[in-house]
Amino acid sequence: MLLKIFGCTGICCVIVLAAQANDHHRLQRLLTPLNGAFKASVKANDDSGSWRKQLQVTGVPGQPEALDIIATFQADSEKAAGAAFVSFTFSAWNRENYVMVPAAIYNGNRYRSIGNGYNPPYPEDMYYNPAVPWTISNNPRLADSPHTASLIELQTGNASLPAMCFYAARQRKGFIVLTDQQTVFGNSGLTITENAAQDSCTFTISAPAVRQTAPGFGDFHQSADTIPLWGKGQLISIHCRVLVFSANGIPDLLQTFMQVRKTLTGENKPRNLLPFSKVLELGTAICSGNWTEVPAGAYFKPENNNDFQLGWVSGMINTYPMLAIDVERERKRLAAEIDFVISKLQGKSGYCYGGITDKGQLIAEKMHAGFTPVQAMVRKNGDALLWLLKHLMLLKAQGHADLIKASWENAAQNLAQAFVNTWKKNGQFGQYIVPETGRIAVFNSTAGAVAPAGLAAAAAYFNNKEFLQTAEEAAAYYFERDVVKQGLTGGNCGDISQDADSESAFGLLESLWALYASTGNPAWLQKAEVQAALCATWVLAYDEVFPPASTIAKLNSHMAGAVFASIQNKHAAPGICTASGDYLFKLYRATGNSLYADLIRDIQHAHAEAVDMPGHSTTNYGWGTSMERIQPSDAEGKNSIGNYINTRNSWTETSGMLMALELPGIYLRTDTPQLYVFDHVNASIIKQDAKGTALSVTNNTPYDATVSVFKETKASASVPLGFTAFLNWRKIVVPAGKTQVYHIPSEEWVAADSAEM
């Protein structure tokens, strides 16, 4: 038994740990390599009664480095006011330890912080300064300065999974604690405290969350948390799983996290609501209706106004599905938009400006009053390079190469060369660039994450070895500096500082996969697997429980797969901004690891949950529309939890179209019994032999489904897919409410029979 007293402003904490000696010893043995200690406690008002506490520790089958802990607390008196706590204290702590709470804390968020609100302006010292320190907005964080104590207070809704992790380089050990989202008292708390000497740190799970302040979008507000009243005999349990394992670096922690992320909360249950084909049909209709002709030029509107933004939030990305549907009117519109972008936005250096108003005024991004040259996001330029080349490749694959203008190819080549020039001069791409001169305005971040993918595409298109060499050098640099050494990527969004964000994580994965596909070098595949694990930390891993009165709860939406935006913008979104994530499918195909397929399937199904449809209202802006803010936390106030917030966002609709286009509905190996379903249908193999496969497909949605089926052999799966592979996938039509049985021989497809559901 361990007894200890803590004081805290009229509140005391009595720790009484009742456990079998063997349980206590098993825990201590697990934590010993990290100099850790375990405590279970109740924090209560002085006169509010007492509690019984019991600890149970069990092994985890198949995981010798893990233990399951159930700490049980029961009130002995009526109306006892208190909160239950389970803590892990590490007495040989080092401030260099990598600390991660998925989607909230990366490397402890131990960076210089600026501002006190959303999208803070950059101070003057961040401009034209190669030595600028990595800088984030005002987020929960461990102290950047030495000799300073730290307190991080979160609730489980702040994280993509209720978990706290760290990697200790000196001990070469990783630590992960997983817990449940909530108890009968609501969402639990996740707290990290570090002493002023920064040689001791405590990870605490509380039931419920009892924070003094709650984090917002780059600021903090008073928490609405309260210490609950217990009835006599009321009992709650805090269930957690602790893993302590050998690790040779941050990548090992990330990959272990991906392997175990669903092991405590359990597998989520994605719902089949909206077939891919319906998403594409509605999305292209909406996008077609967004065509505008204004004084600045003619283009598809990428957001909720008439101004144009390049890349990031859909500009010159939403055009790709419009081209893919192979309609002459949309091809002509695409041609007009490319002409507009090249003539109005490309600067002398080859880089492009990030946007232009409908009246023709160039939009300055993240400008400081003391500097006049208009600058643009490096990320937008990376998008522009990749997607312009994808358009050119798609036109060729469709048989429309004759429509490609020399000016388009010259623009793509000049943009690729601009990245090469910047790399040669600076050894990085920076975060903001001056398109007129090519000079880096703001250094650092991972804003160039997707640029190597664009350069790899340019290398193949133009047969330019220098483009590929730069792509390899840059991707290796960002992977080593940011992922291996810091366990994060950041600065990729136009409304954040250099905060860790999901968009740069997925962008770098796109690049790492592109380099593997271009070179066949397995080192890029290995890096891509690490990067996919980092991406997984940003994705809601389980079907979170939301307040009964919230929109998401009323719709019974299963939100596992929602993608958190950044450590500043504390919300999740339906989809990757702005991509299909098909590289996750390609990674699954190359490795056979279904975790990658599960991840992108979850993302796509969460997207469908957010789409406005009959009887499933999410935006009130019409069928097929969606929005970027799914709110799992109280960052926007307690009443915002579980709601779809904002009006609508074109980029989420674009992401949906891209997933419908670039992911196969059904993936089938014809020489092995391997089948994976991404679309909103159920499928099973009835028979498979040398002659072919009999496949049963059921569509339980209220919409007819045209399902793409990608079939291949195990041997052909060793060859990486190109960007336009989806054009070769065959389609099957499965009417709403019916089952179709398809015989799939080597060449022909026959729909055999159907049955009314």
Write the pLDDT tens digit of every residue in 596-647. Answer: 999 999 999 999 999 999 999 999 899 999 999 999 999 999 999 999 997 8
**pLDDT, greater one: 379 or 751:** 379
Task: State residue 230 phi and psi, 5-degree precision.
Answer: -100, 145
Question: What local confidence, expressed as pLDDT, does residue 690 receive?
Answer: 82
Q: How confident is the model at residue 373 (pLDDT cuts 50, 70, 90)?
A: confident
CA distances, 360 to each of 295, 306, 340, 378, 707 (Å):
7, 11, 11, 21, 42
- For 726-742, how does the pLDDT look when each residue is reduced to its tens digit (9 = 90+)? 999 999 999 999 999 99
What is the CATH class of 276-662? mainly alpha
pLDDT for residue 19 is more than 60: no
pLDDT at residue 49 in the model: 62
Does residue 370 register a pLDDT over 80? no
Asked whether the predicted pLDDT for residue 756 surpasses 60, the reply is no
749 pLDDT above the threshold of 80: no
Q: Determine the Cα–Cα distance for residues 480 and 486; give it in Å rounded to an integer.
A: 9
Q: How far lies 64's CA from each of 30, 61, 246, in Å?
A: 10, 7, 12
Condensed to tens digits (0 to 9), the pLDDT of residues 50-78 reads: 788 899 999 999 999 999 999 999 998 88
Range with the poorest average pLDDT among 50-64, 150-164, 488-502, 531-545: 50-64
Contact 36, 90 (CB under 8 A): yes
Q: pLDDT-based confidence at 7, cuts 50/70/90?
A: very low
418 — pLDDT class (breaks 50, 70, 90): very high
Whole-number pLDDT of residue 672? 85
Q: How confident is the model at residue 691 (pLDDT cuts 50, 70, 90)?
A: confident
366: alpha, beta or left, given left = phi > 0 and alpha = psi -120 to 50?
A: left
CATH 3.30.110 fits 666-756, yes or no: no
**What pLDDT score does 367 carry?**
79
- CA 294 to mean position of chain CA atoms: 35
Determine the average pLDDT of the residues in 291-315. Answer: 95
Mean pLDDT of the chain: 93
Q: 650, 307 in Cβ contact below 8 A?
A: no
Q: What is the dihedral angle through the alpha carbons of 353, 355, 357, 359, rounded to the nearest 10 degrees? A: 40
Nearest partner of 50 among 10, 18, 82, 7, judged by Cα = 82
Q: In which band, very low, low, confident or very high, does the pLDDT at 45 lie, cut at 50, 70 and 90?
A: low
pLDDT value of residue 754? 37
Query: Pairing mode, if any, of strands 376-377 and 3-8?
Result: unpaired
Question: 563 vs 83, 100, 337, 506, CA distance in Å?
Answer: 31, 17, 30, 11
pLDDT tens per residue, range 328-359? 999 999 999 999 999 999 999 999 999 999 99
| Orientation angle between helical segments 378-397 and 328-345, nearest 10 degrees | 150
Domain ranges for the chain, please list them. 3-104+140-260, 276-662, 666-756
What gap in Å lies between CA 15 and CA 38, rounded to an integer? 11
Taking residues 383-400, report their average pLDDT: 98
The token duo for 140 is 């929960």
pLDDT band at 47 (very low <50, low <70, confident <90, very high): low
In the predicted structure, residue 13 carries a pLDDT above the cut 50? no
Of 285-299, 370-384, 563-577, 629-643, give the lowest mean pLDDT range: 370-384
Among the residue ranges 76-85, 271-280, 319-328, 612-621, the one predicted with the least confidence is 76-85
Instruction: Indicate whether 98 pLDDT > 80.
Output: yes
The radius of gyration computed from the CA coordinates of the chain, to the nearest angstrom, equals: 26
Cβ neighbour number for residue 661 with a 10 Å cutoff: 21
Q: What is the pLDDT of residue 745?
A: 76
- pTM for the complete prediction? 0.96
pLDDT higher than threshold 80 for residue 757: no
Query: Confidence band (pLDDT; 50, 70, 90) for 21?
Result: low
- How does pLDDT run across 157-188, given as a tens digit for each residue? 999 999 999 999 999 999 999 999 999 999 99
By percentage, how much of the chain surpasses pLDDT 70? 95
Which two tokens mark 303?
A: 């957001």
Q: Among 480, 477, 469, which residue's Cα sits nearest to residue 518?
A: 469
**pLDDT value at 93 more than 90:** yes
Q: How confident is the model at residue 752 (pLDDT cuts 50, 70, 90)?
A: very low
Strand segments (E) across 363-481: 376-377, 432-433, 440-442
